[in-house]
Structures are given as structure tokens and as C-alpha cells.
A and B are shown apart, each in its own frame.
Chain A
Amino acid sequence: GQQVMQIPQYQHVQEGEDFTTYCNSSTTLSNIQWYKQRPGGHPVFLIQLVKSGEVKKQKRLTFQFGEAKKNSSLHITATQTTDVGTYFCAGRGLTGGGNKLTFGTGTQLKVEL
């Protein structure tokens, strides 16, 4: 079945440093979504990418979808303490995926002052 891996699993940064998490799928994706989960909370949708090579920005966050639609990345510029949480990518398979999302393993971000 479809597998989605994320690296790194954990990341500690100093406030102001940049952060990147990478997402890799074993199969080609129809689209990819990113979610953020604050400590003790539930995953909340951030963005969806659909097109090959697509890049989208939300303030300090930059999202990329790979040309082959099998990988994606999330980059945060100049992290802040409010960025703390776990970031998940979630992909919908190109074929046979239906409407279900396969979530990546997540990257937990900690930001220290």
C-alpha cells in the first residue's frame, strides 16, 4: 500500500532559524496536503498542492510539490515560538486512493528562545 515518510522526525531550532521538513511518497500522488498539530491539539489543515512543481507561500511558510508528484517540502523562514508543533503531510493516491488521505509520520518542531 501507499506509504508516506517524513524526515526529520524531530527538529530543535533556535528562534529565528529556518526549518524544513521533507515528505516522500512511495507512489505518485494526486495532490498533497499539509497539516499542523499543536501540542495537545488536533491536526489543522494548512494548504493543498495539486500541480507538479507547484510552490505556495503563506507568510513565512513555503510549500513545494515535486515535479514527479512523489515528494513535497515545507520550509519555515525565521521560526517563532508559535511555530511549535508537529507538521504532517498527507497524500491522496493518483489511482485507487478514493477520498482517503495517507498521512506521513510527521515532523515535530521545537523552537527555543
Chain B
Amino acid sequence: DAEITQSPRHKITETGRQVTLACHQTWNHNNMFWYRQDLGHGLRLIHYSYGVQDTNKGEVSDGYSVSRSNTEDLPLTLESAASSQTSVYFCASRGTNTEAFFGQGTRLTVV
């Protein structure tokens, strides 16, 4: 069965360190997204990609970057982790005008 997986599931890092969260999907979807979830804010879009070599900024992109070198993967990098980036991160993928499939989430704590 097709799936979307995130790793790690939990991560504790120190302020200022670079952190990369992995997202891998086997749906063969062109569209992939990274969201962060915080109480009172719902799911906010960080970055998204519509295909290989395509990346776009979402509403809360500062301090984050992504790259898309193949269809299956969209890693999210925090260049210099800050306490404000403590959150739960969800990766999602979808086809054209179809439902989105979410990964299990990564709980990131920046200390």
C-alpha cells in the first residue's frame, strides 16, 4: 500500500543547530507540503512543492528551507533552530484536486 512517512517521530535539539526532518511518500504525488501545528493556529503552511526542482514558500517560511530532488522526498531543514520552532510538523502529499495524505508527524523540541 502507498504511504507517507516522516522521520524522526520525536526530536530534541539545541538552539542554533541545523535540523532536517524527512518526509517520504510512495503515492507518486507531485504535490508535497510541510505544515506546522501549534495550539490556536491550526495547520500553517511552511513550504510546498508541485514537482521535482519546484519549491515555494508558505505563510510561515522564515527559518525553514526545503529541496525536491525526486518525487518521493521533501526534506524540511531548519537552518538554525529557535525555540519558536518548537512544534509538531506534518508532511502531506496530494494529487491534483484530491485528498491530502498526512504523515504521522514529527514532534520537535528546541531547547
Given contacts A1-B59, A100-B48, contact A88 B103 (CB under 8 A): no
A residues 67-113 touching B (CB-CB < 8 Å): 88, 90, 92, 98-106
- Interface stretch among A14-22, A43-51, A57-65? A43-51
For the side of the interface on B, what is the size category? 20 to 34
Task: Identify whether the interface residues of B are mostly helix, strand, loop, or mixed.
Answer: strand
Partner of A102, one of B40, B45, B94, B105: B45
Residue of A nearest to B48 (CB): A100
Q: Tell me if B104 and A101 are in contact (CB < 8 A).
A: no
Q: Tell me if A105 and B41 are in contact (CB < 8 A).
A: yes
Residue of A nearest to B44 (CB): A103
> Is A27 interfacial (CB-CB < 8 Å)?
no
Task: List chain B residues, Cβ under 8 A from A92.
Answer: 97
> Is A9 interfacial (CB-CB < 8 Å)?
yes
CA distance A92 to B45 in the complex (A): 13
Q: List residues of chain A with CB under 8 Å of any chain B CB.
A: 1, 6, 9, 30-31, 33, 35, 41-45, 48, 88, 90, 92, 98-106
Q: List residues of chain B with CB under 8 Å of any chain A CB.
A: 30-31, 33, 35, 40-45, 48, 50, 56, 58-59, 90, 92, 94, 96-97, 99-105
